[in-house]
Amino acid sequence: MRAHLATGILGVFAFDSSGKPIEYRLFPKKPDAIAGRLRKSRSGEILPEELDIISELSKKGYRELVWSKDKQVKGMTCIRKKDHVGEETMQSSYRKLALDLRWVSSQAELNEILSKVNIELTKTELRREKRDQIIMRVASVMDELEKELNVFSEKLREWYGLHFPEASSKIQCHERYVELVARHGRRESFEDSELAKLAGRSSGMDFSEHDIEELQAFSKSLLGLYATRKRLSKYLENITRTAIPNTSAVAGSSLAARLLVLVGGLDKLSKLPSSTIQLLGAEKALFRHIRGEGKAPKYGVLFGHPLIQAAPRELRGKMARLVSSKISLASRIDNFSSRDDGEKMKKELDEQARRIRSRQVT
């Protein structure tokens, strides 16, 4: 004979093939206790109530057990099936069962217990470690920090340009410019021969000692922000390698983090088709194309991937499809398993990219 075992908010029930209860063990009416048992059951652990019912079923001559767990039970042939008679009956009839078995006295009492149990389960879910959320927050902070650094560095160029305008065109790197202003202050103090020569015939106005002090103080504060950016960048690289090793290996730490921010997390990214991943960040261009106002985009933020940037213009579309398909696969491995195939996937990606480039040459 075959029995169907199901675990729900009321307890553990065994049903026959017609949905009639054979055995049951009710949970205590304590929301935290119920939530604890449901967490254990959903994680695959066998509850004492389940073992007790299985023992009774065996005594009654039942030899086949259908339930959602992939477990072995002595003396029973276990059949794993998510949607079976027991589960369907529990989902559709648990309110009637609760009243018939006098587990609750009214629907209002049952609703109150349901609410409290769901609150406990939600608390557990919120406490569960989600490293991709940390990655997204750090990436967002870095984006804002990058914007602010660019704005403040430009403002410093405008300010210091009143004293030494020729330096701005000679020093293109913002961080280097800030560092030199913080170190030397007055244009006459520059040690570089070319800059010193320009300073000697500069058209800029003279600054007082107080002006220079304030400029240097502001520059030093900007250097602190640049140091923060470097530290966060290193932290982001480390956390992406540990939390999403496969996606990080294929896309690179920075690009992987940006993709998570765009879609809202690893779970969402892992469920997207590669064609959608390919165009993330190019939504405006895509909508313009749909309206007939432009060409179809070939890539969005994926353009930042080294393989796409290094590819000839006519091959960038193919390279973007290749990279997006690998990212799609890598994100699913990161989300649904604990395997680290990052190095292997990166080698495969590089090899496939090499084949694409060699076919173009031939």
Strand, helix or coil at 190?
A: coil
- Please give the structure tokens belonging to residue 109: 């009492």
The CATH fold assigned to 2-127 is Nucleotidyltransferase; domain 5 (3.30.420)
Strand, helix or coil at 27?
A: coil
- Quick one: which of 332, 192, 172 has its CA closest to 250? 332
CATH class of this structure's domain 131-237: mainly alpha
Domain with CATH 1.10.246.90 in the chain: 245-361
pLDDT digits (tens, 9 = 90+) for 114-170: 999 999 888 876 666 678 889 999 999 999 999 999 999 999 999 999 999 999 989
Q: At what angle do helices 209-243 and 131-161 cross, to 10 degrees?
A: 160
- Please give the structure tokens belonging to residue 285: 């261009």
Domain with CATH 3.30.420.220 in the chain: 2-127
Q: Does 146 or 42 have the greater pLDDT score?
A: 146
pLDDT digits (tens, 9 = 90+) for 207-256: 999 999 999 999 999 999 999 999 999 999 999 999 999 999 999 999 99
Average pLDDT, integer, range 43-71? 86
CATH of domain 245-361: 1.10.246.90
> Within 13 Å, how many C-alpha atoms sit on residue 241's CB side?
7
pLDDT digits (tens, 9 = 90+) for 261-292: 999 999 999 999 999 999 999 888 888 888 88
DSSP state of 237: H
> Please, what is the average pLDDT of the chain?
90
- Please give the structure tokens belonging to residue 1: 């004979």
pLDDT digits (tens, 9 = 90+) for 61-118: 888 888 887 777 777 788 888 788 888 888 888 899 999 999 999 999 999 999 999 9
pLDDT at 362: 47
Q: Which residues contact 361 (CB under 8 A, 6 or more apart)?
A: none
Amino acid code (one letter) for 114? L
Strand, helix or coil at 105?
A: coil
Domain with CATH 1.10.287.4070 in the chain: 131-237
pLDDT at 175: 94
Confidence of residue 2 (pLDDT cuts 50, 70, 90): confident
pLDDT at 63: 86
- H or E, element range at 79: strand 77-80
Q: Which residues contact 28 (CB under 8 A, 6 or more apart)?
A: 34
d(CA 133, CA 139): 10
Other CB atoms closer than 10 Å to residue 122's CB: what's the count?
Answer: 11
